[in-house]
Structure 1
Amino acid sequence: MNITKKKTAMGTASGKIILIGEHAAVYGHPAIAIPCTAVQTHVNISPAKNGLYLYCDLYEGLIDDMPELLTGLKTIINATLYYLNQEHTPLHIRIESSIPSERGMGSSAAVSCAIVRSLCQYFNKSITTKELIHLVQIAEKIVHGNPSGLDATIISTETPLFFEKGKPFKKISINTTGYLVIADTGLTGQTKQAIEKVATLKKVAPKTHTSIMTTLSNMTHRVTHYLATNQLHALGQTMTHAHHALQKLGVSHPLLDQLVSLSLEHGALGAKLTGGGLGGCMIALAKTKQDADALRCILLSKGAKQAFVQPL
């Protein structure tokens, strides 16, 4: 196949946020995820004289010499070049990302998505959404073992999704004003340990576990309605109640609780952890961009390592 190459190309992908339903989703209850354009990955492709080179925060050098830790990256690059029938083309691949890694914001899927987009652009090859998701999911399986496909789908489509285990993802309507402030504790999220804690609770206190899961499920259904009907105050209250439920599951962290409390003290309509917990990030809901920017500054001054503002 003879494909025309460009001199350079760039692919971009955004992050994602679990708005509500984390952990309950593991037990078949619904959850909602939304794209997060406030953080992005950019991948630049340029020609090389010989060899295939990668440049990123974790590694610089020949792709064949990459450490095992980056097997997912190597896999997505090789899979995409195979898809394009360009396995032996010498290239420089540069990755820059503002998406915090291991925070439940879809960092690995975004990198994979941006790599596929940039390589397809470089070789002037169009790709369908289905093909894009398929390629990204190949790398996600290397990184996460048995992923749900949520990250690959939401980052590839940039569409808010309602999802339940074992069921097709459903697009949801967001007709909501307001802004989310995402604050990073600076601590790696401990998703595996958090899932184990919730599983232990199910064994030792099954009634408590069932009650919390039912509560989170009902909240998620209500949030779908609030997003579609611009009920900001109800959305915020539900987010805070969801955080309390996640605290009862044992998956929060003192730094997350501190940032949630600070947000509420400084005018947030609601706040909660997002993602696996035991570290990672929290989200707070603000009514206006001005309120969100002010809250972001406060959270940064009070311990957040990074903070971003995302319009709903």
Structure 2
Amino acid sequence: MITEKAPGKLYIAGEYAVVENGYPAILVALDQFVTCTIKDSAREVGQIISQQYTNDQLNWRRMGDRMVVDKRDNPFSYILSAIRITEEYARSFERELRIYDMQIDSQLDSANGRKYGLGSSAAVTVATVKALCHYYHLPVTKDEIFKLAAIAHFEVQGNGSLGDVAASVYGGWISYHSFDRQWLAQQRKYLDLKSLIDLPWPDLKIESLKAPENLELLIGWTGKPASTSQLVDKISLFKARQQDEYHRFLEDSRACIQRMVEGFHQQDLDTIKREIRFNRHLLKQLGTNSGVDIETPVLNRLCQIAEHFGGAAKTSGAGGGDCGIVAIDRSADFKAVLKSWTKEKIEQLPLSVHFIDDIKYTVQEHLPLI
């Protein structure tokens, strides 16, 4: 039996701009996980079961090297894409494909199934890729896992930066520059998967960051889930219609993230807080100009409360609901923030930053070649 897990994530800054090639964002991985467990099936039929979908189960059979799914309309798109991509990669190492049962367990949604906005689709993709790489004993590091999961996720979603995938793979605090997804789509048509994984990807840059010791991260949930894909689509319309304003937003966001990264390098909480506030201003302006409700009234109240007690706050991710984040000094009365949130029916998510050790399945662990 093989078990692997991947953490959820939140954006700290750089949302929307990061969907453009080479533009940066800062994200953090959190200690809530999607877990993927794989074991050999004793039958000719494998199963994929998830507690997220308690009344649903997906059956599949092996026809040669192809997985044939019994249900066409199912909620397992990211899992299936991750399986397909990772098994394609396994074949490049001459692994024999097998039939197995897969169990998916998630901590990234609320008890009643509502999404917190912690990147569950990215985490389930990464957990599935990691588990299958372990199952097939593939010689992968974080870099290969990221690329495999990024391809699998992008082929389902079709938009987005893949920053959430990076956070789930690398863990901790990261600075992420998005790569050229159009280049990826083109190369996917002409290159075999192993060659594509081995290539450097244009504009891709992922850097681990060390947070200042006095930084306390608070996370508030509004109780209203939001659809990242739909919000990104709406901003794309604004981009097409008002190119000059959109370009100014991109450049201002890039400069803001560069200054914030320097704040991490210098261990300067004041710089980080200042740039979080500036990034909030940029996102509010983007929302006003595009007609997209990025900072909802509840998120606005979440931020106002945090600012009153000395924190720097903003929406996290696409906005429109989901979560807000606060950077505050540990010496401040941040418990007063949480008390005031409760009065406004804003739920604190008591999560901590999750760090991930280096991953490498060595050549000595390989199964025999066929």
Q: What TM bracket, shorter-length normalisation?
A: 0.7 to 0.9
The 5-angstrom pairing of residues 1-312 of structure 1 reads 8-27=1-20, 30-50=23-43, 51-56=45-50, 57-58=52-53, 59-63=56-60, 64-66=69-71, 67-81=73-87, 83=90, 85-91=95-101, 93-100=102-109, 105-158=118-171, 160-163=174-177, 166=180, 167-177=203-213, 178-199=215-236, 201=238, 208-250=245-287, 251-265=294-308, 267-288=309-330, 295-296=337-338, 298-300=340-342, 302-305=344-347, 307-311=349-353
Q: How many residues align?
A: 303
For the residues of structure 1 that align with 2:232 and 2:139, how far apart are their CA atoms? 39
Change in CA separation of 1:104 and 1:89 when aligned onto 2, cut-off 3 Å: same
RMSD between superposed Cα atoms in Å: 3.2
Q: Which moved more, 1:43-52 or 1:199-208?
A: 199-208
Give TM-score, length-normalised by structure 1: 0.81
Amino acid at match of 2:4: G
What percent of counterpart residues are identical?
A: 20
Amino acid at match of 1:163: H
For the residues of structure 1 that align with 2:40 and 2:342, how far apart are their CA atoms? 40
Change in CA separation of 1:207 and 1:301 when aligned onto 2, cut-off 3 Å: same
Q: Contact 2:2 / 2:135 at 8 angstroms: preserved in 1?
A: yes
Q: Which residue of 1 aligns with 2:192?
A: none
Q: Could you list the per-position Cα deviations for residues 230-269 of structure 1 after superposition, in whole angstroms to 9, with x for gaps in the alignment?
A: 221232232123212211211221221121122223x252
What is the CA distance between 1:32 and its match in structure 2?
2.1
Q: Contact 1:268 / 1:284 at 8 angstroms: preserved in 2?
A: no
Q: Could you list the per-position Cα deviations for residues 112-158 of structure 1 after superposition, in whole angstroms to 9, with x for gaps in the alignment?
A: 22122223434555433343223212320233114544333332232
Give TM-score, length-normalised by structure 2: 0.70
Q: Could you list the per-position Cα deviations for residues 188-246 of structure 1 after superposition, in whole angstroms to 9, with x for gaps in the alignment?
A: 32334433554555566666545544433322121011111122123223212321221
Q: Which residue of 2 aligns with 1:5?
A: none
Change in CA separation of 1:293 and 1:15 when aligned onto 2, cut-off 3 Å: farther
For the residues of structure 2 that align with 1:264 and 1:163, how far apart are their CA atoms? 29
For the residues of structure 1 that align with 2:204 and 2:5, how far apart are their CA atoms? 26
Change in CA separation of 1:98 and 1:208 when aligned onto 2, cut-off 3 Å: same
Q: Which moved more, 1:98-107 or 1:43-52?
A: 98-107
Q: Contact 2:115 / 2:225 at 8 angstroms: preserved in 1?
A: yes
For the residues of structure 2 that align with 1:209 and 1:81, how far apart are their CA atoms? 40
Q: Contact 1:34 / 1:154 at 8 angstroms: preserved in 2?
A: yes
Change in CA separation of 1:10 and 1:295 when aligned onto 2, cut-off 3 Å: farther
Q: Contact 2:117 / 2:225 at 8 angstroms: preserved in 1?
A: no
For the residues of structure 2 that align with 1:138 and 1:289, how far apart are their CA atoms? 43
Amino acid at match of 1:240: R
Change in CA separation of 1:179 and 1:127 when aligned onto 2, cut-off 3 Å: same
Change in CA separation of 1:157 and 1:207 when aligned onto 2, cut-off 3 Å: closer
| Unpaired segments ≥5 residues, structure 2 | 61-68, 181-202, 288-293, 355-370
For the residues of structure 2 that align with 1:43 and 1:260, how far apart are their CA atoms? 35
Q: Contact 1:181 / 1:283 at 8 angstroms: preserved in 2?
A: yes
What is the CA distance between 1:271 and its match in structure 2?
0.4
Change in CA separation of 1:245 and 1:65 when aligned onto 2, cut-off 3 Å: same
Change in CA separation of 1:65 and 1:294 when aligned onto 2, cut-off 3 Å: farther
Secondary structure, in 3 states, of the residue corresponding to 2:209? coil
